[in-house]
Chain A
Amino acid sequence: MSATCEFQAKDYKSDLKPIWCPGCGDFSVVQGIYRALAAIGRPPHEIAFVSGIGCSSRIPGYTTAYGFNSVHGRSLPIAQGIKLANPDLLVLAAGGDGDGFSIGGGHIAHLIRRNIDITYIVMDNQIYGLTKGQLSPTSQKGRVTCTSRYGSMENPVNPLLYVLAYGAGFVAQASPTDLAGMAATIEEAIRYPGFAFVNIQSPCVTYGEEAQQIKGLKAISESLKELGHNPEDRLAAMDLAQHYGEKLHLGVFYKNPEPQPTYDALVRERQALLSKDALPKERILDLFIKK
């Protein structure tokens, strides 16, 4: 890791002008990310920021870093390849609820169990915005959308319980209703040594429901700190997480007080341990000599 130098939030803002709808919650999220990165102070060229496809997945383009706007649902596989190839990098992954919990839902469990040191930010708006308003995996049951004209017949995924159940070491929630809190939460997630998950309730102003706009979110939001929640208590965190959809708990649900070694650190250990056994590359075929 290089020496920390002074960076300001604007140093992480790219030249691309966001094309989100005016009032989109993602404007706040990208600001929160700039602020968190400035607080951490890693230079932009040491940051890799990967996303999938969706409105929110445009976010690496609006950030000065090595960005990768990849394919739908696959930000995490790509991010883990980056981290394993170069563990010195700060690796962020981001996307929407459809990207993360529907098409890419199978990957989260495995990043969690490997505990790769990546911060994963999901901008959860309970709708497919980019494709103009279809049902998403976090849409409430009964919700009417253009693919559920008579109301959804499915229960939504609970992203918080999902990652807690798989054993994620850091689980938090944030919202544009509290930008400073969001920036602080993202910063804490990045600083956590291991897989960290931040669910951000980021309203869709075009296809989102009234109750999920800023005003509605404010009405149901509660600070976990003010509730006196102990973030080292995983079961208490799971208890609170059950209220996803009814309440908006903001802050850290769970932070493992004794972080497990990360996969990337174990990879380094193994490399160091075995490098002495390496045949020179030009003699690698000697492995096949039968004496």
Chain B
Amino acid sequence: MRKDLVFGMAGSGGDGIVSAGDSLLQAAAAEGYHGVMTKSFGSQIRGGESSCRVRISTTPILNPGGNLDVAVALNWEDFLKFGAELPVAGTTVVIYEAATGIKETEIPLVGVTPLQVIAVPIAAMAKETAGTERAKNTVVLGLIAGWFGIGAVAVMKGIRKKLAKKGEELVEANQRAFDAGRAFAMEHPLKASMNVAASETKGQVKLITDGNDMCGAAAIFAGCQFFGGYPITPSTEIMQFFTDHVWKYGGAVLQAEDEIAGIGAAVGASFAGKKAMTATSGPGLSLKSEMMGLATIAELPLVIVDVQRGGPSTGLPTKTEQSDLFAAAFSAHGDVIRPVLAPTSVADTFRITIEAFNIAEHYQTPVIVLSDQEIASRKETLDPIDTSQFKIIDRLRPAAADLVDYKRFKQTENHISPISHPGMLGGTYLASGIEHVESGAPTNSGNVHQRMNDKRTKKFDPLKDRKDLFEVTGNPDAPIAMVAWGSVAGVCREALAMAQAEGLNVKLLVPYLLYPVAENVYNDYFASVQKGLVIEQTHLAQTFKLLRMHLDLPKGVTSLARSGANPFLPGEIVAALHRLLSELQRSHEGNLQPQE
């Protein structure tokens, strides 16, 4: 019995591929499995080709997985468009639409002989059993239940619930399509069984959600009462979550006229004393950067979520990338430190979003959450999260004594000044983008500017000691090391486990705080390191360069970077680690050579 299966399916928009993935994930969760589902579309966003990957496992999952175990192609043209996102290997069972007319020996996959190739008359079976080809996806779910033992009961239970409102007739049609798929699988058994073992956590409650919804829920949990934003793929669902829920908590959401107005309204709401946020993707982050400068100098708490996609400009709007790192860290005009945090999974998006609000409130600053398309739109099954473990921080309000001759930007020991808000008697002040003295009154003084820049940057010093915003796994003294963040961190966690199982002495640092760069944390981490990789989905190796700006990396630490959309696979990272190991061994041999 297998512990883990990776499915990849592709078809045209309207084939219901993503809906099938959803059903499969929910059925797997109902059967107690852990699951991750990622979706990928052509750049049209609506229409065009669509695909999904579903990984199902008996143990917690760190990433969407590498090569497919099962590939489903409703047509080859669309399947091939996803290239490296749906990698087929010699271990893959390929299932495809027989109506494509392509022989099993002639499928258009170059350079690989799959484990088994099966043509199935999927459309014909749908038409015959349900009276419409629209049931193709249900036939596929039946095939999966039959061949891999997932969702035999739960899939139809889910579909039944989903279609209940649409009438019994439709439910029955889907049941027939599902049964036909399952029967086909039973009649054509695989050469070697690929059934997944039963889950140990069967019967336990599981949550299913994606990174964007998780971000919205975390924000409301953290006390966010205002969202201002503008639709942009792949972040829009965060705003949608707010429009569904924030009213219930006395808050408001504004779909603004543009990106600037969205963040402007959030700045206003924060000035008015409420926790506020906006969310966007790369192009929107550029538009918002002037307002972020304003929030920095006016010392207003604000959370900005940037769900990264391939850039620049429209770039690859539906694919993941990490290339907004520089934009997030350095988009400001002027001398600015603006904290940048990054979640690595749907689950930790909850914690990191709460941290972002806590840091924004405590330090009275805009904070950027750098999510990415993969985390934002992938669905994960999660074990319930104990929310009582999270502390919520609110901004420092003035005490009665502070309100006597109130100074909004008063210099204090930790550089943080009590902040009043409209409605508070005695707290009136002028917030401004212009440099100001402690009272808030405008100034042109270079000396005041120097002092205020000190205040606005030194206040972040304690943040760099927050070791809990970094995760080190593996042997802490290992000579071989990896650094990875965001969705790439999940791949590296799995690579670490694989490499350790192969006997490599290796470790992994995952920073949740990307900026300001915590020099001490990295210096401690690299102290034992002779060879290492900074692994990232950017073309210019932005993370590697950001680290080199702030610290002296050991000579053996190099960059493994490439543009987005082509995901890293755990196996290739392990291969790269092996290369580092041989280099390390060779250099030691070199050291043993006697001098001439």
Contacts and interface: CB of A to CB of B under 8 A. Distances in A.
A290 interface: yes
B424 A45 contact: yes
Given A88-B423, A107-B257, A282 B388 contact: yes
Contacts of A48: 271-272, 422
B267 A284 contact: no
B430 A60 contact: yes
Contacts, number: 204
Contact of B266 (A64, A81, A89): A81
A290 B206 contact: yes
Contacts of B424: 45
Contacts of A46: 422-423
Interface in A44-70: 44-48, 50, 53, 58, 60-61, 64-70
A289 B381 CA distance: 10
B248 A288 contact: no
Nearest to A44: B428
Given A89-B423, A284-B220, A45 B431 contact: no
Contact of B421 (A53, A66, A84): A66
A275 B246 CA distance: 9
A89 B422 CA distance: 7
A273 B422 CA distance: 26
A78 interface: yes
B206 to A, nearest CB: 7
A200 interface: no
A66 B434 contact: no
Nearest to B27: A290
B385 A285 contact: yes
Which of the four size classes fits the interface of chain A? Answer: 35 or more
A117 to B, nearest CB: 14
Given A81-B265, A82-B272, A271 B252 contact: yes
Nearest to B241: A287
A267 B208 contact: no
**Chain A CB within 10 Å, residue with most, of B274, B388, B422:** B422
Nearest to A283: B387
Interface in B421-462: 421-434, 441-442
Nearest to B248: A278
A125 to B, nearest CB: 21
Interface residues of B, number: 72
Interface stretch (B8-16, B51-59, B126-134, B221-229): B221-229
A10 to B, nearest CB: 15
Given A47-B422, A68-B430, A69-B434, A80 B268 contact: yes
Contacts of B385: 285
A230 interface: no
Interface in A62-96: 64-71, 74, 76-86, 88-89
Contacts of A68: 268, 271, 298, 430-432
A110 interface: yes
Contacts of B217: 284-285, 287-288
Given A45-B422, A48-B422, A77 B430 contact: no
A270 interface: yes
Interface secondary structure of B, over-half rule: mixed
Given A84-B269, A85-B272, A288 B433 contact: no
A16 interface: yes
Contact of A289 (B207, B214, B350): B207
B29 A290 contact: yes
Given A85-B226, A285-B217, A285-B350, A77 B264 contact: yes
A288 B265 contact: no
The 7 closest A-B pairs by CB, nearest first: A81-B268, A77-B264, A81-B265, A278-B248, A85-B269, A85-B272, A78-B268
Interface of B: 26, 29-30, 205-209, 213-214, 217, 220-221, 223, 225-226, 228, 245, 247-252, 254, 256-258, 260-274, 276, 290-291, 293-294, 298, 350, 382, 384-385, 387-388, 420-434, 441-442
26 contacts: A16-B430, A45-B425, A48-B422, A61-B430, A61-B442, A68-B298, A70-B264, A81-B228, A81-B267, A82-B422, A84-B226, A84-B269, A85-B225, A86-B272, A86-B273, A89-B272, A267-B252, A270-B247, A271-B247, A275-B249, A278-B249, A281-B249, A282-B387, A287-B213, A288-B209, A288-B382
Given A61-B442, A68-B268, 17 more contacts: A66-B271, A68-B271, A74-B260, A77-B265, A77-B268, A81-B228, A81-B264, A81-B268, A85-B226, A85-B269, A85-B274, A86-B273, A86-B423, A271-B247, A281-B223, A285-B350, A288-B208
Interface of A: 14-16, 43-48, 50, 53, 58, 60-61, 64-71, 74, 76-86, 88-89, 106-107, 109-110, 267, 270-271, 273-275, 277-279, 281-285, 287-290
